[in-house]
Amino acid sequence: MAFSRSARLAALTTAAASFLTIAASSAPTPGAPGIGDPYFPGLGNGGYDARHYDLDLAYSPDTGRLDGRTTLTARATRNLSSFDLDLQRLEITRVEVNGRRAVFTRDGDEVTVTPRDGLRKGRHFTVTVTYGGVPEPLGGPIIFGSKYGWMKTGDGVFVACEPNAASTWFPSSDHPADKATYDIRVKAPRGLTAVSNGRLVSTYDKGGSTYTHWRESRPMATYLATATIGKFDVRTGRTPGGIPIYVAVDPVLKNGNGVDVYAVTAAATDYWSQVFGPYPFEETGAIVDDMPEAGFSLEVQSKPAYSAVRNETTIVHELAHQWFGDSVSVARWKDIWLNEGFATYAQWLWAEHQGTRSAHDSFLAGYDARPADSAFWQIKVADPQRDTMFASAVYQRGAMTLQMLRERIGDAAFFKLLPAWTRLHRYGNADTADFIRLAERVSGRQLDDLFDTWLFTTGKPTL
Ligand SMILES: [Zn+2]
């Protein structure tokens, strides 16, 4: 993110029943309401692993109403008598597990689903939820500085959900530690374009509606999903490096800022592929919408979402996130510097690549500009706390940490480390300790003091 200004049903066979009788500890029990993230105790769920989401959405921009049916295929990670989904505010009309109607209860943002029979550990099951309502954005000036999530625009909707707004528009295990693949189908009024993740499977008009099907076949965190709808000029092709590209720009923004979003997206995707390792997704691109209320851009998987025409440095930031954040995702939200520190550092690398400023000078500019008594230095980068997880220190001091690391271990080790990181944790999750371990392995050095100073200690470090 960048701010401007910034089972199958486990039919209880005789064998399973006797297994359960013998091993009392594995009798089916309720799943956990959260995945265990201290910043967001209710986000994600315990007892299963989300594998694939099928989203069927119908959106009416006139009324703002969304009607949806989501089928989640998941694997039980223990014997379950019930399990939870995250869904905020929308009304549920029906829940089925493995095609059979299931009982559900709601408590705040938690939906507890009780299938007719228990779900067996290791087995896949499907849960289908039919729901609808008018989704509302989250946030505001106090928390995270901007509204975010499902945001109505003049001609449709802009959807950018970090960190916890995916569950305002589809029932899910809404935490980046539970990634899954997606099929996203959108019905919208004829003439509007629905833009989502991965590659376009089909789009056609029928009656007064346009039906669009997108498929993201690489694992994706819930917050990186989008179904942005509106009038768009779409340009497709390939980057000079051969990566398919899809850029959608709201026609009212034509010539905005004098930035050629298509060209910058193509160039940055290719350049980062050289620096960070192979591009992790099937397509690159951009969604540029007119959404003044969203004071940010988001690294939506495969196509960053910009709430206006943003500048080149924002575009290179969001594209760097395709490696740092989207492919390699945080294990817990306190690790957010692994996304934002790296994407900010990528901006410094881009300036270096362009020959406008070295990363060392970018470091010094940020370091010198902030006196020791600045609140900036009071954020612990590797555990910034929920309400300040997008504080500038997470971005800037995170990037400073990487520059200090680079200067300690040298360019050769540093530029071996970055692609090693994206290769080791590709499509997965990682935490700060994983990064420190890899940095020490690749460089052959003991780096505790450096990371303690820059990530885990408040106060302005001395140089
Ligand atoms: Zn970012």
Same domain, 361 and 450: yes
Which pTM value belongs to this model?
Answer: 0.94
Of 397, 438, 425, 198, nearest to 329 by C-alpha is 425
Q: How far is the CA of 340 from the centre of ligand 1 (A)?
A: 5
Mean pLDDT for 97-115 is: 98
- Tell me the pLDDT tens digit for each residue of 361-391: 999 999 999 999 999 999 999 999 999 999 9
For residue 452, the 8-state DSSP code is: I
In a domain, 19, yes or no: no
Same domain, 125 and 212: yes
Sign of torsion over alpha carbons 172, 321, 405, 274? positive
- Annotate 300-357 with DSSP letters as a single string: -TTS-EESS---HHHHHHHHHTTTBTTTBEESSGGGTHHHHHHHHHHHHHHHHHHTS-
CATH of the domain at 265: 1.10.390.10
Q: How far is the CA of 165 from the centre of ligand 1 (A)?
A: 16
Neighbouring CB atoms inside 10 A of 159's CB total 31
Q: How far is the CA of 2 from the centre of ligand 1 (A)?
A: 4
Q: How far is the CA of 325 from the centre of ligand 1 (A)?
A: 8
Distance in angstroms (rounded) separating the CA atoms of residues 461 and 113: 50
CATH of the domain at 91: 2.60.40.1730
- Tell me the pLDDT tens digit for each residue of 285-331: 999 999 988 889 999 999 999 999 999 999 999 999 999 999 999 99
Number of domain units in the chain: 3
Same domain, 90 and 177: yes
Same domain, 338 and 318: no
Same domain, 67 and 197: yes
- Tell me the pLDDT tens digit for each residue of 320-351: 999 999 999 999 999 999 999 999 999 999 99
Residue 359 has pLDDT above 80, yes or no: yes
Q: According to the model, what pLDDT value does residue 23 have? A: 46
**Residue 194 is part of which domain span?**
32-147+159-221
Q: According to the model, what pLDDT value does residue 15 have? A: 44
Single out the residue in 327, 342, 367 at which a domain terminates. Answer: 327
pLDDT, the chain, mean? 94
Q: How far is the CA of 322 from the centre of ligand 1 (A)?
A: 10
In a domain, 424, yes or no: yes
Q: How far is the CA of 240 from the centre of ligand 1 (A)?
A: 25
* Bridge partner residues of 147 (DSSP): 139
Q: Cα separations (Å) of 252 from 158, 309, 311, 323?
A: 15, 11, 17, 31
- Tell me the pLDDT tens digit for each residue of 421-448: 999 999 999 999 999 999 999 999 999 9
Q: According to the model, what pLDDT value does residue 2 have? A: 85
Residue 113 has pLDDT above 90, yes or no: yes
Q: How far is the CA of 421 from the centre of ligand 1 (A)?
A: 18
Residue 13's pLDDT band (cuts 50, 70, 90): very low
Q: How far is the CA of 179 from the centre of ligand 1 (A)?
A: 19
Q: How far is the CA of 297 from the centre of ligand 1 (A)?
A: 8
Distance in angstroms (rounded) separating the CA atoms of residues 411 and 358: 13
**Distance between start and end Cα atoms, the chain:** 29
Q: How far is the CA of 347 from the centre of ligand 1 (A)?
A: 10
Q: According to the model, what pLDDT value does residue 142 have? A: 66
Q: According to the model, what pLDDT value does residue 141 have? A: 72
Same domain, 210 and 344: no
Mean pLDDT for 81-96 is: 98
Q: How far is the CA of 123 from the centre of ligand 1 (A)?
A: 37
Mean pLDDT for 406-412 is: 98
What CA dihedral angle connects 228, 229, 233 and 235, to 10 degrees? 40
Same domain, 68 and 191: yes
Residue 20 has pLDDT above 50, yes or no: no
Q: Which two tokens stand for residue 197?
A: 């993740």
